[in-house]
Amino acid sequence: MTINPGDNTEKELLAGILLQLDIAAFEYIEGKLIPISTPPNWFDELYLLNIDHQHKSSEYLLSEAFPFIENFIYDAKNIWQCSNQQPLRSGLWSECLDDLYELNLEAIAMKIGNHSLLLIANETSHFELRRKVYQNARNLALKNERLESSIQLHQRQLQQQLEKLYKKDNSFDGVDDDIENESTAVLICRHDGSVEVFNKALIDIYAMSEETRLSEKSLLKKWSEEAERQYPEIHRVLQSGQHWEGEFETFDNNHRKKWVRLMIAPVFDQNNELEHYICVANDISNIKLSAKEIELLTQIDPNTHLPNRRSFWNYLTEQIDKSQETGTSLALLYLDLDHFKQVNDDLGPEQADFLLNAVANRLKQCLKKQDFIAHLGGDEFAVVIKNIVDQQSLSKIAQRIRENIYRDISFGDFTLNVSTSIGIAIYPQHGLKPNLLVKNADYAMYHAKEMGRNQFQFSSPYSKRHIKRKIHIEQGLKSALSNNEFKLLYQPQISLEKQGQHRIEALIRWHHPNHGTITPADFISIAEESGIIIDIGRWVLETACKEIKSLNKKGYSAKISINVSPKQFKYSSIIDEVKAALEYYKVDPSQLELEVTESVFLDDLEQVIKQLELLKGLGVTLALDDFGTGYSSLNYIKQLPIDILKIDRSFISELPFNRHGCTIVESIIAMSHQLSIEVVAEGIETKEQLEYLRNLGCDFVQGYLFYAPLSSEELISLYQSLQPKQ
């Protein structure tokens, strides 16, 4: 069956199936998600709740409505580009319809024929069912715990009772009757192991027959041998006349494996000589068996042995319910190791597991037993603290965690330091529902990363807004190019030497449909992180070349410089791209300049210098931007094939009043001139700055004192007013 067959019966059938399965289905066509049939009601409700502007029913802005699947769609594109790919599943994520109703959704990307499909399935009922199973398992675990402690209590009472009986007349005569109907197994033997009394419960545990009864004789020996595997100290404890208790695996006379809980108490005669042992035992195989199942169901993380994500959610939900009942608060700390992906790639999976284990142990060490620690997967951990919620104490705890994790972790002959970013959210201030609390702790964690990592942040409206905006920016960037949302502005640089001569710097602006104009400071680093900067850089290059060509056509000769990100040197064939653009737009290479910042040289100085020389070979000129802000030393400038050096605004703004700043600017200009490098001063705002720079012999100035960045139209008007046509 095809997806859009034009045959109404088949369309109806497909729509019916999707509705029955509770699935919203979309086809991805030219960057848009078009619904295949009317989505279920929950989907529209959720979509309208999340999107803050009117939507066209033919096209859904899913990335904007559901930040969670934004990244998923990004990965999905790989599936959609190739045929014969397995469907890609996002795993469950949850969305709140309102305060009471939470949906558990899963996105699935697949390719059928030529159709790229995105399905969003409502898994709430399955999820609820699983949640109930986990809940029951936890309840069972609690019951088991209670049962175990009641067995322990009963064993102790029974043993004390038997000891009392013995002390009456220094014998166990007549004790048979007392233990006959006891459900706990009892064995009383002499210090050499020979049996004095035992009851029916012991026969039951060990499936003893009349013929094998004698083997009880060696039971004490058998027990201590079996228990020794788990409790090496048992012999020492018994020999020193102390009382011992524990759980271990044993085999009955039919060679069936069983778990017993055993208590052995030595009995001394009047001369304080070891005379007897009272042994009491219970078969706890059932408890152990269900504990194993529970462990599987509740799933402990197999590497770190910490509760996993599932247990974390259950625990958090439970504790929030409790806090709500009792009117108390709780704190959630959300941890994410910094640069773990890199560490993982460098170390390999085994060492990375070792590192995660080390982190888990450090967390256990620096937190109290009653604090809940979970390993949520990957490099994420969570801590729930119930009794402390004031910010000062939590700060101390977060600081302690941060410092402890950061300590050296040794891997044989080398050591490593990993830092953590921590987000903290407190119930009820930062969220009444587990979902919201986790989201806010996660935003705060993200904020800590933004602030430079290796630190903690509390949830705040600011962190939430800030990160939400960042996420929106990340999402928006992906479609900004295809939606034509970028523009270049042009800021002239005036020559102080030769009147009328000038250069122009192209500066990018992003006109976001919802957020208005966004300046490069707010999106370039994000574009660099995600790699989109390569496409943006190519667009800037082409647009600048187009502008040069169009100015040339109008009779104006212009030299335009464009900013090039270090990522373009690292991950794109910048040389071929520049060459192709110059050729395509028929631009004289001397009319184009590339601005690079010092950070470009951080990677591989020799390699970058080679690339720069190849670029120069094309005939373009090169400028070193923001000089003075990085690792710059005037010395290494000599090695670089640059024509222009741009002094960063931060130095210019201090002129001419800061002596230190003046000296720096003065020596930069003098040194550059010695190397035949021209100097541009950025960010000139006052006449005093201009005069000072003129006196130092600065070549070009750029700043609001002359022109702010201008649109293409404004630039042409400026040319018309200043420069007669050539």
Residues that bind ligand C2E (CB under 6 A): 491, 507-508, 519-521, 524, 540, 563, 565, 595, 625-626, 649, 682-685, 702-704, 709
Q: Closer to Mg ion by CB, 278 or 680: give it.
A: 680
428 preceded by a cis bond (ω within 30 of 0): yes
Residue matched to tokens 């104490």? 393
Q: Closer to ligand C2E by CB, 264 or 623: give it.
A: 623
Choose one: 382-390, 439-447, 477-485, 592-600; the region binding Mg ion (CB under 5 A).
592-600
Nearest to 85 by CA among 121, 115, 63: 115
Q: How far apart are CA 98 and CA 347, in angstroms?
A: 44
Would the CA dihedral through 144, 148, 149, 154 be positive or negative? Answer: positive
* Site membership for Mg ion, residue 563 (CB under 5 A): yes
Q: Closer to ligand C2E by CB, 325 or 713: give it.
A: 713
Q: Closer to Mg ion by CB, 64 or 595: give it.
A: 595
In eight-state DSSP terms, residue 590 is G
Residue 538 interaction partner, one of ligand C2E, Mg ion, none, beta carbon < 5-8 Å per kind:
none
Q: Closer to Mg ion by CB, 119 or 508: give it.
A: 508
Q: Closer to ligand C2E by CB, 249 or 522: give it.
A: 522
* Site membership for Mg ion, residue 598 (CB under 5 A): no
3-state SS class at 317: helix
656 preceded by a cis bond (ω within 30 of 0): yes
- Minimum distance from residue 488 beta carbon to Mg ion (Å): 12
Q: Closer to ligand C2E by CB, 373 or 507: give it.
A: 507
For 146, residues 6+ apart whose C-beta sits below 8 A from its C-beta are none
Q: Closer to Mg ion by CB, 378 or 630: give it.
A: 630
- Minimum distance from residue 469 beta carbon to Mg ion (Å): 24
- Residue 335's beta-bridge partner residues? 381, 422
Nearest to 187 by CA among 214, 219, 228: 219
Residue matched to tokens 């529209």? 44
Q: Closer to Mg ion by CB, 434 or 703: give it.
A: 703
Q: Closer to ligand C2E by CB, 247 or 626: give it.
A: 626
Other Cβ atoms less than 10 A from the Cβ of 421: the count is 24
- Minimum distance from residue 521 beta carbon to ligand C2E (Å): 5
* Site membership for Mg ion, residue 595 (CB under 5 A): yes
Q: Closer to ligand C2E by CB, 317 or 495: give it.
A: 495
Q: How far apart are CA 705 and CA 217, in angstroms?
A: 104
Cβ atoms of 377 and 337 within 8 Å: the answer is: no
Residue 520 interaction partner, one of ligand C2E, Mg ion, none, beta carbon < 5-8 Å per kind:
ligand C2E
Residue 331 in tokens: 């704190």
Cβ atoms of 567 and 599 within 8 Å: the answer is: no
- Minimum distance from residue 652 beta carbon to Mg ion (Å): 10
Residue 521 interaction partner, one of Mg ion, ligand C2E, none, beta carbon < 5-8 Å per kind:
ligand C2E
Count of residues touching Mg ion (by CB under 5 A): 5
**Alpha-carbon dihedral of residues 300, 302, 305, 307, nearest 10 degrees?**
-30
Residue 50 in tokens: 């999340």
Nearest to 445 by CA among 417, 424, 470: 424
- Minimum distance from residue 517 beta carbon to ligand C2E (Å): 10
Instruction: Give the DSSP letter string of 348-392.
Output: -HHHHHHHHHHHHHHHHHHS-TTSEEEEEETTEEEEEESS---HH
Chain mean position to CA 491:
40
Distances in Å between the alpha carbon of 648 and those of 2, 679, 702?
60, 11, 11
- Strand 32-35 and strand 23-29: the pairing is antiparallel
- Strand 380-385 and strand 420-427: the pairing is unpaired
Choose one: 134-142, 400-408, 536-544, 681-689; the region binding Mg ion (CB under 5 A).
681-689
For 570, residues 6+ apart whose C-beta sits below 8 A from its C-beta are 603
Residue 310 interaction partner, one of Mg ion, ligand C2E, none, beta carbon < 5-8 Å per kind:
none
Q: Closer to Mg ion by CB, 371 or 626: give it.
A: 626
Query: Where are any strands of DSSP class E within 391-485?
Result: 409-411, 414-416, 420-427, 456-458
* Site membership for Mg ion, residue 626 (CB under 5 A): yes
Q: In the stretch 85-104, what mask flags binding to Mg ion with x, by CB under 5 A?
A: --------------------
- Minimum distance from residue 576 beta carbon to ligand C2E (Å): 18
- Minimum distance from residue 539 beta carbon to Mg ion (Å): 17
Q: Closer to Mg ion by CB, 276 or 538: give it.
A: 538
Would the CA dihedral through 480, 483, 485, 490 be positive or negative? Answer: positive
Residue 432 interaction partner, one of Mg ion, ligand C2E, none, beta carbon < 5-8 Å per kind:
none
Distances in Å between the alpha carbon of 549 and those of 331, 489, 556, 587?
61, 16, 9, 6
Residue 119 interaction partner, one of Mg ion, ligand C2E, none, beta carbon < 5-8 Å per kind:
none
In eight-state DSSP terms, residue 127 is H
3-state SS class at 282: strand
- Minimum distance from residue 648 beta carbon to Mg ion (Å): 6
Residue 565 interaction partner, one of ligand C2E, Mg ion, none, beta carbon < 5-8 Å per kind:
ligand C2E
- Minimum distance from residue 547 beta carbon to ligand C2E (Å): 12
Site for Mg ion in 148-177 (CB under 5 A): none
- Minimum distance from residue 544 beta carbon to Mg ion (Å): 12
Residue 699 interaction partner, one of ligand C2E, Mg ion, none, beta carbon < 5-8 Å per kind:
none
Choose one: 394-402, 446-454, 463-471, 558-566; the region binding Mg ion (CB under 5 A).
558-566
Choose one: 195-203, 585-593, 602-610, 677-685; the region binding Mg ion (CB under 5 A).
677-685
Q: Closer to ligand C2E by CB, 459 or 597: give it.
A: 597
Cβ atoms of 119 and 276 within 8 Å: the answer is: no
- Minimum distance from residue 714 beta carbon to ligand C2E (Å): 14
Q: How far apart are CA 503 and CA 593, in angstroms?
A: 10
Cβ atoms of 526 and 518 within 8 Å: the answer is: no
Residue 189 interaction partner, one of ligand C2E, Mg ion, none, beta carbon < 5-8 Å per kind:
none
- Minimum distance from residue 682 beta carbon to Mg ion (Å): 5
- Minimum distance from residue 449 beta carbon to ligand C2E (Å): 22
Residue 704 interaction partner, one of ligand C2E, Mg ion, none, beta carbon < 5-8 Å per kind:
ligand C2E
Q: For binding to Mg ion (CB under 5 A), which residues are involved?
A: 563, 595, 625-626, 682
